[in-house]
Structure formats: C-alpha cells, structure tokens
C-alpha cells in the first residue's frame, strides 16, 4: 500500500501494468462507471451498474472487485476508513478471485461470494470511489523525479538505496541520470558513507552537513538513543547496510513488530517480532546506558495493547544477563519465564 500527495502523484506514482483483458466483468463495469467522471459511493456504483446491465450486484462481490482495482492502482477512495478497516483485521485481506458466468441471454451474472455477507455500510466500502487521475510523465521526467525524491529521502543516492526503492531499470539507469546531473553541477559524486560503495551521489549541502556531523562526532561522546521500527526507512541495517555480525543464533530481519535502538550511528539493540528474543551489540553489556532501554520502552508504550514475555538475550536466559535489572528499571516486570511487558 502506498500513499501519494496529490500534487506530486505524477512524480511518485507508477500505475500497475494490469492486463485489462484479465479483469472480471464486474471490474470492467466499475471502471466503465467511474470513467464517466466524478466520485461515487459504493451503493451508487452498484445502482449505476444495475442501470447499465439490468443485474443487481451483491455488496460482497462489489467489495472484492473494488479492492482488486485498488491493488491494480486503478481506483481510490476519498477517506481513510477503508484503509483503516483493511489494516485492523486480517479478515479484510484480499479474497480469492471469483469469475462471473454468463446467463442464457448473454448478460453477466456475478457469482455470490462464499465469504460472509457484507452491506454497503461496511467500512471497507466507505467513502466515494473514483479513478486515479495521474498525468503520465515521460521516462526522463519520471527518472528525474525519482532521483530528486531519493535525494530528499536518503540524502545520498547509492546502489543499495536504488535496490531498496525498487527503481525501474535498477542502478544502471539511475547512475546514467546521476552522471548527467553531476556534469551539470546539480550533484556531486564521492565516497561519503563508508560501506555504500564508490558510486554515491549527493547534493553539496548534504555533503557539507555530513562533514559537520563527522566533526561533531570526534568532539561528542554522548548520543541520545532512538528506538525505531526495524522496517523504518531510517533504519539502514538490513537495507542499505548489512546487519552487524552477532554470534547469537537469532538472525535479525526487517519485520513489522521488530524494533531496533540506535545511537551515534551504531546499532545497539534488536527486539525480535513477538518480543521473545533480543540481541545486544555491546561487547561489555553491563556498560549499556539505562537510556538505551528507556528508549526501547518509550517505543513499546506507543502500542498500549502490546503484551509479550522476553525470555532470551543473546541466546541466554534474560535472568542471567546484565540487562535483566536495566530492563526492569525501564518498565518490564519480572515473571517466572523472564520479563513481561504490558
């Protein structure tokens, strides 16, 4: 699922290359209705389809067809309720595709869904639905827009960042554009960040900022730890950079629900999805500052219903590690299995 600002949608949105011939009869009917212009509530769409073909449409079938067109990047709703409903429950995931069959008179009859019946008032159908109106850009304009977006998002365009963004044409196409931007003085090429290779491109202001930060790093010894979702773009490990080596058997991954704590450009802690296991990148774990664990619990409190039991740290029972006391002081509670949260 992607969200795009309306005024910049042409630069950031790439419509899915859906095979129109493979769309169901109901999907084609919806597109035909919306192609007349305007935005319509689900019940209005159903009525307009009925007026065109003389057949009623079951709300469940309409919901499935509408969301199939959403996944294709064809339509959108004007409110947040359908998206919230989708993320609230796994029952709102995409259901299996159903085919229409032909009646004897040649009109399409839409098969009744096997999923529980829904009404037009369900949150998944809320709001007014319309076709996405995005003016197409040519290849050069689109690639330039992608490059500028990456400079805003990452500061530096690198091979790893292009791979992470799944840029069409991959790094070779982006590198060709960056070299043209370099020739015009728009950006500079160099080795600005260790570990990102030699093909790095950045604006001069970004380079100056990196130099300032490098100077400050030699003068400052204290940094405020920050906890992030493991799949947050601001977490460079497992994305732009490989995860730091660790002797434990747990392999960190960028999954929803996993958390990392970083400080001073270093990865300090990883809490696995589900909260049962933790990794700490500190040779002398007892030297970890309490602020590291307070940053973790601050992030955990953003999810008031979160409940889990931490049992292992670096493959050891949490009670046998120096982190046990620090985690209790940060807000965890002791239990027979380890440390409870929530």
Residue-wise burial string across 22-32, b where 16 or more C-beta atoms lie within 10 A, e elsewhere: ebbbbbbbbbe
CB 109 within 8 A of CB 56: no
Confidence (pLDDT) at 156: 95
Q: How far is CA 171 from CA 137, 154, 175, 186, 251, in A?
A: 20, 15, 6, 19, 28
Residues in CB range of 338: below 8 A, 6 or more apart:
309, 310, 311, 312, 317, 318, 319
| pLDDT tens track, the chain, 342 positions | 777 787 777 777 766 665 677 889 999 999 999 999 999 999 999 999 998 888 888 899 999 999 999 988 889 999 989 888 877 654 444 444 444 444 434 444 444 444 456 688 888 899 999 998 777 788 888 899 999 999 998 999 999 999 988 888 899 999 999 999 999 999 999 999 888 888 999 999 999 999 988 887 667 667 889 999 999 988 999 988 999 999 999 999 999 999 999 998 889 999 999 999 999 997 665 457 899 999 999 999 998 889 999 999 999 999 999 899 999 999 999 999 999 998
| pLDDT tens digits along 221-270 | 678 899 999 999 889 999 889 999 999 999 999 999 999 999 988 899 99
Distance CA 21, CA 176 (A): 36
């Amino acid at each position: 699922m992607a969200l795009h600002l309306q005024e910049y949608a042409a630069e950031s949105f790439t419509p899915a290359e859906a095979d129109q011939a493979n769309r169901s009869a109901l999907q084609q009917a919806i597109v035909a209705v919306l192609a007349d212009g305007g935005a319509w509530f689900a019940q209005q769409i159903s009525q307009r389809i009925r007026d065109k073909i003389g057949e009623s449409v079951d709300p469940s079938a309409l919901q499935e067809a509408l969301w199939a067109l959403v996944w294709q990047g064809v339509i959108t709703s004007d409110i947040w309720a359908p998206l919230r409903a989708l993320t609230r429950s796994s029952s709102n995931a995409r259901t299996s595709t159903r085919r229409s069959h032909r009646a004897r008179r040649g009109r399409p009859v839409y098969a009744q869904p096997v999923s529980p019946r829904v009404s037009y008032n369900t949150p998944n159908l809320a709001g007014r639905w319309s076709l996405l109106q995005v003016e197409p850009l040519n290849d050069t304009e689109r690639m330039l827009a992608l490059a500028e977006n990456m400079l805003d998002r990452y500061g530096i365009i690198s091979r790893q960042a292009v791979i992470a963004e799944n840029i069409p044409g991959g790094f070779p196409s982006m590198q060709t554009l960056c070299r043209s931007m370099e020739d015009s003085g728009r950006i500079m090429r160099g080795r600005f960040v260790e570990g990102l290779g030699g093909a790095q491109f950045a604006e001069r202001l970004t380079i100056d900022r990196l130099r300032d930060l490098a100077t400050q790093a030699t003068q400052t010894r204290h940094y405020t730890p920050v906890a992030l979702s493991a799949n947050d773009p601001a977490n460079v490990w497992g994305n732009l950079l490989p995860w730091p080596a660790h002797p434990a058997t747990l392999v960190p991954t960028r999954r929803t629900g996993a958390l990392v704590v970083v400080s001073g450009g270093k990865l300090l802690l990883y809490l696995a999805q589900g909260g049962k296991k933790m990794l700490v990148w500190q040779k002398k774990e007892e030297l970890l500052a309490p602020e590291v664990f307070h940053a973790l619990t601050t992030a955990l409190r953003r999810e008031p219903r979160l409940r889990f039991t931490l049992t292992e740290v670096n493959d050891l029972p949490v009670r046998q590690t120096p982190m046990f006391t620090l985690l209790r002081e940060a807000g965890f509670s002791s239990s027979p299995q380890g440390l409870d949260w929530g």
